[in-house]
Structure 1
Amino acid sequence: MQGDSGTAGADTEIEHLADLDAVLSSGRALTGLRLQDLDLTAYEARLLARTDVEGLVVLGGRLSPALNAHLGAHHALVFPSDPHAPVDPYRATLYTAAELYAGLETDGYESTPDYRAYQWMRDGAVHRDAFVTLLRAIHDDSISDALDEFTGQRPVVGVMGGHALARGTSGYAAAARLGHALASAGLVVATGGGPGAMEAANLGALAAEPGALDDALRRLAAVPTFRPSVAAWVSLALEVRAGLPVSADRCSLGIPTWFYGHEPPNVFCDGIGKYFSNAVREDGLLARASAGLVVLEGAAGTVQEIFQAVTPLFYAPLESTLAPLVLVGQEYWSETVPVWGAVQALGQERGMGSVVHLVDSAEEAAVIILDRPDGATAAGGLR
């Protein structure tokens, strides 16, 4: 969980049992520590022997009633979870595709944590359950903290685009090759984590070899979209991912939301930061795009993301070094969904005018992102 300057910080957060063991062995007071999502079963005797726990906060995890009572008696705080929650509100790491789609092959998509989390969110809203609302907010803050740890100081490029782009199309292949080029240059490729253009960019970023990417594109075309069957769409993707050569030097990140429950997350990510709040998710995704943002064709959600990205560019101090915003598809963004005129008009009055671009191809977008004057490394272009 995130701390502030006056309370908890990185030095008080304990997210791994090895760190807890080190603290207990050191004799350090436990006052003020935050224990997040830990199974305390093996440490119960040692914790029961300690009374220096005032202000200790236990966020979820596993502990016995006896330890719970002991900590409470000595003024520690133990935050409970909801036994009916399909996800852990206090989790300390990003999701994996295997976690979100657990049970898919045997019991169908409706049995998976991903689907059940969406239903849990909807049920809590309908019944105005304040406790569920609180747990969702804690969950999303935990995901934000995990995203900070996952990305660290690595440069992140965002790739936005519509969920309707089908596998097997030239647009899908172009988005995949864009993701491949950006990741090959050492950038973390972050998308909205859903289907379509997002899946394509995550696939390309994950695939370490161009030939393997071509093979994956060919195989995935057999199930073009997640409609009518999410299970068929996911199952094929999991098969393709299992045979995909990957590299520790590459990073593919998805940041989806249960707000769009009809959009299942794609599986081609090293980490999945899935949120209940779409507003928190979009702000976090765009704020992390330190190396720039590429926007492929999309509908209302993509348009919203464009202007959400434009706002901080517009109001940035004139001396700021700004990351590029690149819209791909001149006819689309000028005529079909005429966003470019507004972006260009805003840019004429501020420093952002030099970093907003409208291009025709993913290849051109890659060149702009990778040939920045502030030192980004070119990837040698797209095939």
Structure 2
Amino acid sequence: MSEPPSIWSAPEPTAPAPTGGSGQPGLVLLGRGADYPEEWAGTDPLRVLRIQGEFLEGFARLSGLGPTVSVFGSARTPESNPWYAVAVRVGEELARAGFAVMTGGGPGIMAAANLGASRQGGVSVGLDVELPYELELNPWVNLPVRFRYFFARKTMFVKYSQGFITLPGGFGTLDEIFEALTLMQTGKVRRFPVVLMGVDYWSGVLDWLRTSALAEGVISADDLDLVVVTDDVDEAVDAMRRSEGSP
């Protein structure tokens, strides 16, 4: 299967992989456990190398994924919550449709979507991030990538997904939604489907966008067309099937 087109609108320049004194690829030298000059400890040059290492590792591990859909939602959703079962079905149906399923790798909605994908023998990706209070990678991930920096992780979601399906969630979920909408609104990436599952849950956000943001003139009516809101798993998956680069 050939690699699907990236949603990034402009081609990225190519460059040889950076190497260090040992001649090893930069992926190794810039990643975790690398040796750096002692005087660099806690400095911005060291952070730059760590950031570069995260991008290199993410690109190296995800570049061959094929058609992929990212599923977002709260890490706090228990298995007893009805949305957990919905997320499991989303993962199952995406895998049946030939998509890899990518989540943040944590518990709750993320674990449910990964579970659904793994039940169908699909590729189940978890882009884990270091947090002070959580969270181990859920057991349903078969392709893990670990990040320290949120912005590096978010780049991978956008670069390697053909669409987003978003279930109820909090600040992190809203961050992913509005990041994607901003990139599309400003033409930094091509348009791709963003589906919000949960009409009752998301209606307040959409109402505010219409009655406040649109009324104030800070967004346009066309911007609201970037989002599909539904309670129907089949409708959400069909939106992904119609996206560029789908199986």
Aligned to 2:229: 358
Q: Secondary structure at the match of 1:364?
A: helix
Aligned to 2:168: 297
Aligned to 2:197: 328
The alpha-carbon deviation at position 181 of structure 1 amounts to 1.3
Per-residue displacement from partner, 1:332-382 (whole Å, max 9, x unpaired)?
A: 1113xx2564289446245x72x4201123332112212x064634xxxxx
The alpha-carbon deviation at position 281 of structure 1 amounts to 1.8
Instruction: From the superposition, tell whether residues 259 and 60 of structure 1 become closer, same or farther in structure 2 (CA, over 3 Å).
Output: closer
Choose 1 or 2 for highest CA Rg: 1
The alpha-carbon deviation at position 34 of structure 1 amounts to 3.7
Q: Which amino acid aligns with 2:221?
A: Q
Pairs within 5 Å for 1:165-314: 165-208=77-120, 247=121, 250-259=122-131, 261-289=133-161, 291-314=162-185
Relative contact order: is structure 1 or structure 2 higher (C-alpha 8 Å, sep ≥ 6)?
2
d(CA) in 1 for partners of 2:47, 2:13: 24
Does structure 1 conserve the Cα–Cα contact (< 8 Å) formed by 2:193 and 2:227?
Answer: yes
Q: What stretches of structure 1 move > 4 A for 4+ residues in a row? A: 30-33, 58-62, 133-137
Does structure 2 conserve the Cα–Cα contact (< 8 Å) formed by 1:34 and 1:59?
Answer: no
Q: State the identity as a percent.
A: 26
Does structure 1 conserve the Cα–Cα contact (< 8 Å) formed by 2:77 and 2:84?
Answer: yes
d(CA) in 2 for partners of 1:31, 1:173: 51
Instruction: From the superposition, tell whether residues 310 and 263 of structure 1 become closer, same or farther in structure 2 (CA, over 3 Å).
Output: same
Per-residue displacement from partner, 1:175-232 (whole Å, max 9, x unpaired)?
A: 0110121122222211111110011111111222xxxxxxxxxxxxxxxxxxxxxxxx
Q: Which amino acid aligns with 1:9?
A: P
1:342 maps to 2:209? yes
5+ unaligned residues in a row in structure 1: which ranges? 14-29, 39-57, 63-78, 83-127, 209-246, 378-383
d(CA) in 2 for partners of 1:9, 1:177: 42
d(CA) in 2 for partners of 1:376, 1:281: 22
RMSD: 3.6
Count of residue pairs brought into register by the alignment:
228
Aligned to 2:16: 9
TM-score (norm 2): 0.75
1:376 maps to 2:243? no
Q: Secondary structure at the match of 2:195?
A: strand
d(CA) in 2 for partners of 1:278, 1:303: 14
TM-score (norm 1): 0.51
Aligned to 1:236: none
